[in-house]
Amino acid sequence: MIDRKGTTTNLSNPKINYSDESFWIKLKNFALTAGREVVEKALILYYTAQNPNVPAWAKGVVLGALTYFISPVDAIPDILVGIGFTDDLGVLLAAIATVSVYINADTKEQAKQKMKDWFG
């Protein structure tokens, strides 16, 4: 399970921390702006990291991608309409490609259910 207290994952900027709380806040605040695809990918990664059968290195990849997603420091600022989340999507897709062998049907179903709850 991801450390709910926050874990520093960006060694070049130790002030950017990942926590479940910051993940859910960012996701809820930007779900409509970011769009379904970004939200779905973030949820798939989040639920993959919750799986106790996923090895530590894969969770590290996921944690790095989710830290980038919640970080206020982006290559492309999230406030730019239409393009603000393209860098986030790229990072999330790269992480999914890296850990895809650990993404199972249960993980996809959890993400699908959350998407249904939020977007109908």
What confidence score (pLDDT) does residue 74 get? 65
Mean pLDDT for the chain? 79
CA pair distance 81, 102, nearest whole angstrom: 33
Helices (H), the chain: 20-34, 36-50, 56-70, 86-99, 105-119
pLDDT in tens, 44-59: 999 999 999 999 999 9
What confidence score (pLDDT) does residue 45 get? 97
What confidence score (pLDDT) does residue 118 get? 80
Query: Model-level pTM?
Result: 0.74
